Amino acid sequence: MIRTMEGHRLRVGALAWSSSTLSSGGRDKSIYQRDIRVKEDFISKLSGHKSEVCGLKWSYDNRELASGGNDNRLLVWNQHSTQPVLKYCEHTAAVKAIAWSPHANGLLASGGGTADRCIRFWNTTTNSHLSCMDTGSQVCNLVWSKNVNELVSTHGYSQNQIIVWKYPSLSKLATLTGHTYRVLYLAISPDGQTIVTGAGDETLRFWNVFPSQKSQNGESEIGAFSFGRTTIR
């Protein structure tokens, strides 16, 4: 172990990196900003949620932090604020799934829990709600492709599926099934082509869902992280 950081009074439920800053959110309703270069456990405390913080994600330019909570709220903070600069209360269940677009500044997606089931899109630059899509089941994770303007959502009750969406049309490109319990975790490979999902069924599944940047120019390429799995393209 290299270091221990304290501050939270109850369990830690979300983490997000931004350069040398580590953000942590917990059941104590607080978010702590921690500069790993200094000896102090934290440099600031962010207060705004009324219940547990269950989702955190920094924007690609590291200027904005989005947080989701069990209070059904999505909050946006700038890199220097201790109070939220934007508050969105349209979700009707916990907001755990959060993803910033790498293709447009201020474009943010958020997903709600079982009582909500919606993915909502926001423009934090203009403070506007762009669109809402009912997915039919709990939204557990969201990730945006860095290669193409598409995103993946993973789901829980009742279908436990993985869906690939085209943006901004929100057309469904693929539905991936196989997990028998809710898909709790989602990560994307460094080359941006393969995702891995983890579920309550005790399995990891690998999916080739996104094209490479080269293949968009007409060249066929197998990603280094493809694991030889079937592609949806």
Tell me the per-residue pLDDT of 31-66, one tens digit each, with 9 for 90 and over: 999 999 999 999 999 999 999 999 999 999 999 999
Cα–Cα nearest to 209, from 177, 173, 160: 173
* Closest to 104 (Cα-Cα) out of 132, 126, 83, 79: 126
DSSP letter (8 states) at residue 114:
T
| Dist CA 55 CA 178 (whole Å) | 25
Q: Is the pLDDT of residue 165 over 50?
A: yes
Q: What is the pLDDT of residue 212?
A: 83
Residue 222 pLDDT > 90? no
Structure tokens at 230: 């079937």
pLDDT of residue 128: 98
Closest CA relative to residue 124, chosen from 54, 70, 67 = 67
